[in-house]
């Protein structure tokens, strides 16, 4: 397929009780299906799952959806995308998306980080390396901070992980004076509770947003592409650092979400990044919400 000219940014805005939630795509990335993308399945099974979802079986499109929450007059961003330096230019577009919905970066009060992979933290920095959200407090999971910024852990890490340690150090050096750490099972902000879902990374965190009678489960990277890992929660994505622990976290939370019929926001869900999950055999059926134009 020939490359098409880029479209203007889109966003998806919805309410959870009195909180306004906006999915603000940072973009997408399409890559050839890597060998061993699912570590514990033969490639033929992965290709079959992609075809069953009516997707091409030789490539993957990964979506990146930071969220903006407007909670009692505060603007809260959850995760930040790749940042404006990203290559290819189909990613790192959060600042354009924010502009398109009329939100200046300087008006963001709080940035909550789910984990320290680069597609979640690099957008903390502007193109010139200064804080992209200069007036924001940056809230990070305590366990994630302890792991990635520990020099011992960095030196013991396999070579393939060393760049991620160096990246976390680089990003947080620039915003350190804005950082506060949070622990699991605490409200990081009113109505937003941190839920430990380790495995993808040691301090990987999901969130439950509660407002009035409404709830939204913000899963972060509990699953990568839902057509593989919501459908098959026992499948291990190559990005999960401790695949067995990640699977346990995933199974525990997906069961709750399906039983309680919760809406789920997924950083790597296809836009608009929100879905319901229905129990189906050993896995779940992914039922994306239809995009609706918000009232102006
Ligand atoms: Zn991610």
Q: Give the count of domains, the chain.
A: 1
Taking the centre of ligand 1 as the mean of its atom positions, its distance from the CA of residue 12, in whole angstroms, is 19
Cα 93 versus chain centre, distance: 15
Residues measured by CB to lie within 5 Å of ligand 1, the ion = 117, 119, 221
Taking the centre of ligand 1 as the mean of its atom positions, its distance from the CA of residue 21, in whole angstroms, is 19
Structure-token pair, residue 286:
């992914």
Taking the centre of ligand 1 as the mean of its atom positions, its distance from the CA of residue 130, in whole angstroms, is 22
Cα first-last separation, the chain: 35
Spatial separation of the C-alpha atoms in residues 249 and 13, rounded to whole Å: 28
Mean of pLDDT over the chain? 95
Would residue 293 count as lying in a domain? Answer: no
Taking the centre of ligand 1 as the mean of its atom positions, its distance from the CA of residue 241, in whole angstroms, is 12
Taking the centre of ligand 1 as the mean of its atom positions, its distance from the CA of residue 239, in whole angstroms, is 9
Taking the centre of ligand 1 as the mean of its atom positions, its distance from the CA of residue 280, in whole angstroms, is 25
CATH number, domain at 117?
A: 3.60.15.10
Would residue 7 count as lying in a domain? Answer: no
Q: Give this prediction's pTM.
A: 0.96
C-alpha torsion sign, points 264, 267, 268, 274: positive
Structure-token pair, residue 58:
């030789």
Structural domain including 249 reads: 12-288
pLDDT digits (tens, 9 = 90+) for 108-153: 999 999 999 999 999 999 999 999 999 999 999 999 999 999 988 8
Taking the centre of ligand 1 as the mean of its atom positions, its distance from the CA of residue 2, in whole angstroms, is 27
Taking the centre of ligand 1 as the mean of its atom positions, its distance from the CA of residue 196, in whole angstroms, is 16
pLDDT digits (tens, 9 = 90+) for 248-269: 999 999 999 999 999 999 999 9
- The mean pLDDT of 2-14, rounded to a whole number, is 79
Taking the centre of ligand 1 as the mean of its atom positions, its distance from the CA of residue 197, in whole angstroms, is 14
Taking the centre of ligand 1 as the mean of its atom positions, its distance from the CA of residue 293, in whole angstroms, is 26
Q: What is the pLDDT of residue 2?
A: 65
- The answer to whether the beta carbons of residues 270 and 249 sit under 8 Å apart is no
Would residue 5 count as lying in a domain? Answer: no
Would residue 1 count as lying in a domain? Answer: no
Q: What is the pLDDT of residue 89?
A: 84
Would residue 59 count as lying in a domain? Answer: yes
pLDDT digits (tens, 9 = 90+) for 46-63: 999 999 999 999 999 999
Would residue 97 count as lying in a domain? Answer: yes
Taking the centre of ligand 1 as the mean of its atom positions, its distance from the CA of residue 273, in whole angstroms, is 13
- The mean pLDDT of 170-194, rounded to a whole number, is 97
Q: What is the pLDDT of residue 132?
A: 98
Would residue 296 count as lying in a domain? Answer: no
Q: What are the CA-CA distances from residue 170 to residues 129, 165, 167, 201 (Å)?
A: 9, 9, 5, 18
Secondary structure of the chain in HEC code, one letter for each residue: CCCCCCCCCCCEEEEECCEEEEECCCEEEEEECCCCCECCCCHHHHHHHHHHCCCCCCEEEEEECCEEEEECCEEEEECCCCCCCCCCCCCCCHHHHHHHCCCCHHHCCEEECCCCCHHHHHHHECCCCCECCCCCEEEEEHHHHHHHCCHHHHHHCCHHHHHHHHHHHHHHHHHHHHEEEECCCCEEECCEEEEECCCCCCCCEEEEEEECCEEEEEEECCCCCHHHHCCCCCCCECCCCCHHHHHHHHHHHHHHHHHCCCEEEECCCCCCCEEEEEEECCEEEEEECCCCCCCC
Would residue 294 count as lying in a domain? Answer: no
Taking the centre of ligand 1 as the mean of its atom positions, its distance from the CA of residue 125, in whole angstroms, is 17
Spatial separation of the C-alpha atoms in residues 92 and 60, rounded to whole Å: 18
Q: Residue 193 pairs with which residues in a beta bridge?
A: 187, 208
Taking the centre of ligand 1 as the mean of its atom positions, its distance from the CA of residue 118, in whole angstroms, is 8
């Amino acid at each position: 397929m020939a490359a098409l000219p880029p479209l203007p940014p889109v966003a998806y805005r919805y309410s959870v009780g009195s909180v306004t939630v906006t999915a603000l795509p940072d973009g997408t990335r399409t890559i050839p299906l890597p060998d061993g993308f699912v570590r514990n399945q033969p490639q033929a099974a992965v290709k079959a799952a992609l075809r069953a979802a009516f997707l091409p079986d030789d490539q993957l499109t990964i979506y990146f959806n930071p969220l903006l929450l407007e909670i009692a007059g505060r603007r809260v961003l959850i995760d930040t995308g790749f940042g404006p330096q990203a290559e290819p230019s189909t990613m790192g577009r959060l600042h354009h998306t924010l502009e398109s919905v009329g939100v200046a970066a300087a008006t963001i009060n709080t940035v909550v980080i789910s984990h320290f992979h680069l597609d979640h933290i690099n957008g903390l920095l502007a193109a010139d390396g200064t804080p992209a959200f200069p007036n924001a407090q940056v809230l990070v999971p305590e366990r994630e901070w302890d792991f990635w910024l520990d020099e011992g852990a960095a030196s013991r890490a396999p070579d393939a992980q060393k760049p991620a340690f160096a990246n976390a150090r680089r990003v947080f050096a620039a915003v350190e004076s804005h950082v506060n750490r949070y622990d699991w099972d605490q409200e990081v902000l009113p109505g937003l509770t941190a839920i430990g879902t380790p495995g993808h990374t040691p301090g990987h965190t999901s969130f439950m947003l509660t407002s009035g009678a409404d709830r939204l489960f913000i899963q972060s990277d509990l699953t990568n592409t839902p057509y593989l890992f919501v459908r098959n929660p026992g499948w291990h994505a190559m990005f999960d650092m401790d695949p067995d622990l990640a699977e346990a976290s995933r199974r525990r939370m997906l069961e709750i979400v399906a039983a309680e019929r919760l809406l789920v926001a997924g950083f790597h869900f296809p836009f608009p990044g929100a879905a319901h999950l229905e129990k189906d055999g050993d896995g779940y059926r992914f039922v994306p919400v239809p995009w609706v134009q918000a009232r102006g």
